[in-house]
């Protein structure tokens, strides 16, 4: 009989150690699962943050800034639709004498490379021999500037024309699309 008792203890000991092995491995699996979940959460937060930063960069990068000197040196500032490579259909004259014709010729408009059938703010000077030209800027590239519709307001232009041009004047930056003024 002693042999059977020894046999029982011998057989019961390995099963206990197997049970203990399973219990010892379970915390490792749980810890690994928690690490994976924490990593996925951190990855999701990083992805959301990256998307947020890209969205801000796209929506706020390089806002349109009205060139104050160009506007002040203009004989007329108007809103018009470009109808051909050198013609503009006048919608509103903001500054300057009223223009008697519905369509005007702008000699250096092809230099701007603006698409036709689009509305712009155009700072213009009278050209020798008739017609107009986009008022030049003092920018290094020397290209004339026109401003797409929606990136400025008539009030911005009127304020520029009213102010003295001192260093105390705030810069005129068009609002970001979707931002309330």
What is the per-residue pLDDT across 45-91, written as a single tens digit (0 to 9) for each? Answer: 999 999 999 998 888 777 778 888 888 889 999 999 999 988 999 99
Pair (95, 14) in one structural domain: no
Pair (42, 110) in one structural domain: no
**Side-chain half-sphere CA neighbours of 172 within 13 A:** 22
Pair (151, 86) in one structural domain: yes
CA distance readout (Å), 9 to 14, 23, 47? 9, 21, 57
Contact, 157 vs 77, CB < 8 A? yes
Q: Looking at 13, 28, 61, which one is the last position of a domain?
A: 61
Pair (81, 158) in one structural domain: yes
| Total count of domains within the chain | 2
Pair (83, 55) in one structural domain: no
Pair (36, 77) in one structural domain: no
Say what the pTM is. 0.58
DSSP 106: B
Pair (99, 55) in one structural domain: no
Query: pLDDT tens for residues 19-35?
Result: 555 566 787 888 899 99
Domain range for 144 is: 68-162
């Amino acid at each position: 009989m002693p042999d059977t008792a020894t046999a029982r203890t011998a057989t019961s000991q390995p099963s206990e150690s197997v049970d203990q092995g399973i219990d010892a491995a379970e915390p490792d699996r749980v810890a690994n699962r928690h690490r994976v979940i924490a990593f996925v959460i951190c990855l999701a937060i990083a992805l959301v943050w990256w998307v947020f930063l890209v969205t801000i960069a796209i929506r706020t990068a390089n806002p349109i800034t009205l060139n104050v000197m160009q506007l002040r040196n203009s004989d007329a500032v108007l809103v018009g639709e470009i109808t051909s490579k050198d013609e503009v259909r006048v919608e509103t004259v903001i500054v300057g004498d009223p223009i008697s014709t519905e369509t005007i010729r702008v000699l250096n408009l092809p230099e701007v490379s603006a698409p036709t059938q689009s509305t712009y703010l155009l700072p213009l000077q009278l050209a020798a021999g008739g017609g107009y030209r986009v008022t030049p800027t003092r920018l290094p590239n020397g290209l004339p500037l026109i401003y797409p519709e929606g990136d400025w307001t008539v009030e911005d232009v009127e304020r520029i024309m009213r102010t003295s041009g001192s260093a105390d004047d705030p810069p005129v930056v068009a609002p970001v699309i979707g931002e309330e003024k």
